[in-house]
Amino acid sequence: MPTEPLFRPISAGAEPFIDVEFDGRRLAVPGQRSVAAALLVAGVSRFRSTPVSGAPRAPYCMMGVCFECLLEIDGVANTQACLVTIQPGMKIRSQEGARRAV
């Protein structure tokens, strides 16, 4: 759940905030950024827990290499949040533990 954000915009009042759904709750995030960047600014500092031990994880490389920012975005699991632009109304879920086989 959102806490004190680790990152903030360097210039005040830049882009407008947009509403997305994060883990079933409405969350206001800055637009025109990657999903990963937008969530970090909105105070989401934990994106998922690992399939192996359930350890918490968050974005590490921000360039599509590390796969730590994996989220379920609009129903698609294991999406690299640093490579997708945030859109109003996006339904985003953190990924807890291993994926369930449907």
Shortest separation between residue 38's beta carbon and other proteins, angstroms: 8
* Options 20, 22, 59, 81; binder of other proteins; rule CB under 8 A: 59
Whose tokens are 């490389």? That residue is 61
3-state secondary structure of 1: coil
Shortest separation between residue 78's beta carbon and other proteins, angstroms: 6
Structure tokens at 46: 């934990």
Would you give the DSSP letter of residue 95? B
* Options 1, 16, 67, 87; binder of other proteins; rule CB under 8 A: 67
Q: Is 94 in the site for other proteins (CB under 8 A)?
A: no
Residue 49 near residue 57 (C-beta atoms within 8 A): yes
Q: Is 83 in the site for other proteins (CB under 8 A)?
A: yes
Contacts of residue 35, Cβ cutoff 8 Å, sequence gap at least 6: 69, 71, 73, 79, 81, 82, 84, 85, 86, 90, 92
* Options 17, 21, 45, 93; binder of other proteins; rule CB under 8 A: 45
Element housing 25 (H / E)? strand 25-30
Applying CB under 8 A, the residues found at the interface with other proteins are 4-11, 14, 30, 33-34, 37-38, 40-41, 45-47, 50, 52-53, 55-68, 70, 76, 78, 80, 83, 85
